[in-house]
Amino acid sequence: MTSVSASGQGAEYAATASEAYQAALRVIETVEPRVAEATRKELADQRDSLKLIASENYASPAVLLTMGTWFSDKYAEGTVGHRFYAACQNVDTVEALAAEHARELFGAPYAYAQPHSGIDANLVAYWAILATMVEAPGLAEMGAKHINDLSEADWEKLRAKLGNQRLLGMSLDTGGHLTHGFRPNISGKMFHQRQYGTDPTTGFIDYDAVAASAREFKPLVLVAGYSAYPRRVNFAKMREIADEVGATLMVDMAHFAGLVAGKVFTGDEDPVPHAHVVTTTTHKSLRGPRGGLVLATEEFAPAVDKGCPMVLGGPLSHVMAAKAVALAEARQPEFRTYAQAVADNAQTLADGFVKRDAGLVTGGTDNHLVLLDVTSFGLTGRQAESALLDSGIVTNRNAIPADPNGAWYTSGIRFGSPALTTRGFGADEFDRVSELVVEVLSNTQPAAGPNGPSKAKYTIADGVAERVHAAASELLEANPLYPGLTL
């Protein structure tokens, strides 16, 4: 199994990393010892918990150390070779490397490494699409060659045009993300939006229904991708739908980018050959630093390149350097082994739930995540999440289709396999994890609050949390996090 180093490094690598972290923490202690102590405790806590949050992973020491450098001290607004600040030649080097690795890894004609997060990447993408598909034609219609040539009346017309575009994205309760047109999010305010869901019987995307909605709604942007949909997507079909109605296909692959990079998703399931614009985070299944990327066709590249200052603040040069390191790791053959193990382990986890009669949305998975319907245990997602945390199992509650408990309490728990796969867990361990989860939930009951039934309070049968936590610790000790690294 691929280690967390993501590059096959052994004892010497771990010893060198230990020296680096020990020295760094000694320096931090001279200024604020409580931060150093919290840092040590965070590693201890992560080592002693079953991390099953689908959007989390463990970056390599090389990636983490890259972020703690003087690149953090540089302002670098602009793009490679065209900065608004002097002395950015070294920032140019690391940003160009990050973009180069991203292009080669995903087979994309263009990559933009500046977004600070997945949400930022999506905002850059949305405004780039608006600028390319609406602003430029709008200028021509007004007889202007440059945006600075517009009169105030023309600006009013252009603002109306920019602000009245349509977006069709996956609904939050069927697996979409907040930034896919959810009304309280900025994406739901930028656009006149509509959402598509899944088949109420199977839980799968109904492409015919998506096509019918697109024909009726005629969106400028069709968004594909998900944060809690446990199945693969046919992006070739989504592109056909987009082309039929003249929409731009944007794919948010933040959750499954590692499976794309690792060639688990290929052909119609690889979004890059089919989408006009692709966004992603660099953490999650890619196992890099917290940040984002935008991949695009040449048509959209000039507008995406204006992400700063259009949407973004100053680029985080130290994080772009870490992105370059992480993407270089992902280009190694070992990463493909890791990515396939992520998918295999998620399948094992789902199978373990099914054979123990736990209800799954769509009945299983074929990506990196599993969505458990906890109403079969008589619990809300909030109660289940808390009971599992008490037992040493870190998850997150998540809405399920037509969720009766809404987006806060929810009726589901989302599980992901990337982090524990990084630790070396395989089929036997993931089956055991499903057993421990079911043991906790089967022995948890809702509890009443001061004003009657509560969606948050719960009780766990005596001894269950302690027993499960001990069993989880055995699994974790056999698969140590950052093996050989001592603080």
Active-site position among 290, 356, 457, 467: 290
Q: What is the rounded end-to-end Cα distance, in angstroms, of the chain?
A: 25
Please indicate whether residue 284 is annotated as part of the active site: yes
Active-site position among 29, 48, 77, 435: 77
- Each residue of 368-401: b (16+ CB within 10 Å) or e? bbbbbbbbebebbbbbbbbbbebbbbbbbbbbbb
Please indicate whether residue 77 is annotated as part of the active site: yes
- Give the list of residues 6+ apart from residue 402 with CB closer than 8 angstroms, or none: 173, 200
Active-site position among 120, 173, 252, 269: 252
Query: Would you list the DSSP string of 34-91?
Result: HHHHHHHHHHHHHHTSEE--TT-----HHHHHHHSSGGGG----EETTEESSS--HHH
Active-site position among 281, 282, 395, 410: 281
Q: Based on the number of CB atoms within 10 Å of its own CB, is 266 exposed (0-12), middle (13-18) or buried (19 or more)?
A: exposed
Distance CA 41, CA 81 (A): 42
Please indicate whether residue 336 is annotated as part of the active site: no
Helical (H) or strand (E) element with 444: strand 444-449
Cα angle for residues 286, 290, 295 (degrees, 5° grid): 60
Please indicate whether residue 240 is annotated as part of the active site: no
Cβ atoms of 430 and 349 closer than 8 Å = yes
Distance CA 164, CA 256 (A): 31
Active-site position among 29, 56, 75, 237: 75
In the numeric block, the tokens 């252009």 are attached to: 158
Rounded (10°) CA dihedral 293, 299, 304, 305 = 100
Residues with catalytic roles: 75, 77, 252, 281, 284, 290
